[in-house]
């Protein structure tokens, strides 16, 4: 068995279709993170 890491950035509306497609390939587990917001935080950092 080969372990493969796949990162997908997508809209949560398509999650059900993704799960159905992954079940065809017998993918049994995944970790899902919901990211909100955009861009980075601006600050005055001194290095």
User: How confident is the model at residue 24, as a pLDDT?
Assistant: 92
The more confident residue out of 43 and 2 is 2
Residue 25 exposed, middle or buried by CB count within 10 Å (0-12, 13-18, 19+) = exposed
User: How confident is the model at residue 20, as a pLDDT?
Assistant: 92
Identify whether the C-beta of residue 8 lies closer than 8 Å to the C-beta of residue 15.
no
pLDDT in tens, 3-46: 888 888 888 899 999 999 989 988 878 888 888 777 666 666 66
Measuring CA to CA, which residue among 24, 22, 25 is closest to residue 8? Answer: 22
User: How confident is the model at residue 41, as a pLDDT?
Assistant: 66
Q: What is the DSSP letter of 33?
A: -
User: How confident is the model at residue 46, as a pLDDT?
Assistant: 64
User: How confident is the model at residue 12, as a pLDDT?
Assistant: 86
């Amino acid at each position: 068995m080969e372990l493969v890491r796949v990162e997908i950035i997508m809209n949560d509306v398509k999650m059900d279709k993704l799960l159905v497609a992954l079940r065809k390939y017998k993918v049994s587990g995944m970790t899902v993170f919901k990211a909100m917001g955009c861009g980075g935080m601006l600050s005055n950092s001194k290095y």
